[in-house]
Amino acid sequence: MKRSNPPVPQRPPESQAHGAPIHARLATEADLPALVPLIIRLKRLNEEFDSMLKVRPDAEAQAEAVLKAELKSPKSLIIAAEGAGPDKDKVVGVVRAAIRERLFYMPETEGVILDIYLLPLYRRHGAGRYLVEHTIAQLKERGAGIVTVEFPAQNEIATRFYAKCGFRPITAHHARMA
């Protein structure tokens, strides 16, 4: 890019091989300051769907502590999504996933997508799909024979999105106030 160009705002180019304007990689501790706000955005979005998902006042500290521990754990997978072009080094999305043992069912190893969030500007052009497929591949590499995902039951956008990705409901998770 020529340096003499006026500083007009630019979109991320859609020139990645997979067509999505993002690039996924394993997160490191250096990403923590960028990842925490993304997790908090997701939790606040979940709260929009259901009052039983009310975000704790200490959620930010919680996110930081949890991510810090999970970054070191072999049973966890934290992925950072970066933008492309001028946003190449900007973290624009996050995935939190875990490896769990299924005690009674087969396949025995399950990869769980706990949290997945992309900033709005980076959601289109198959970016979400790319991030999910990338995560599934990483979980498979860690031995997962089945992949599950958790999200608010009222989130119809997510329901439709994961159906398109080949997911279907297998267990239900109901709640009432105690």
Partner 1 sequence: MVEATRPRSPSSGSPPAPPAEESAESEASQTTALNERALRLAEFYRGKIETVPKVPVRSLRDFSLWYTPGIAAVSREIEHDADRAFHMTGRWNTIAILTDGSRVLGLGNIGPQAALPVMEGKALLFKYLGGVDAVPLPVNASTPEALIETALRIAPAFGGINLEDIASPKCFQVLEELQRRLPIPVWHDDQLGTAAATLAGLINALELTGRDMSTIRTVMLGAGAANLVTVRLLVRMGHDPHRITVVDQRGILEAERPDMDEMQLHNRWKYRVALETDGGGRKGTLAEAMAGADVVLAASTPVPGTIHQEWVRSMAPHPIVFALANPLPEIWPAEARAAGAAIVATGRSDFPNQVNNSLIFPAVFRGVLDARARAIPDDIVIAAAQELARYASMKGLSDQHLLPTMDERDCFPHVAAAVAEAAVALGIARVRASREEFFEQARRIMARPAALVVALQESGLMDPMPDEPVPPGKPR
Question: How many whole angstroms separate alpha carbon 99 and alpha carbon 133?
Answer: 16
Question: Which residues make Cβ contacts (< 8 Å) with residue 87, sequence separation at least 6?
Answer: 12
Closest CA to 149 of 125, 126, 132: 132
Q: Is residue 57 at the binding interface for partner 1, with CB under 8 A as the rule? A: no
Rank residues 81 and 139 by Cβ distance to partner 1 and give the closer one. Answer: 81
Rank residues 55 and 71 by Cβ distance to partner 1 and give the closer one. Answer: 55
Residues in the interface with partner 1 (CB under 8 A) total 10
Residue 37 preceded by cis peptide, ω within 30: no
Rank residues 92 and 136 by Cβ distance to partner 1 and give the closer one. Answer: 92
Helix (H, G, I), strand (E, B) or coil at 161: helix
Which of 79, 119, 131, 158 forms a contact with partner 1 (CB under 8 A)?
A: 119
Tell me how far, at minimum, the Cβ of 20 lies from partner 1, in Å.
16
Helix (H, G, I), strand (E, B) or coil at 101: strand
Interface positions with partner 1 (CB under 8 A) = 7-9, 41, 44-45, 48, 119-121
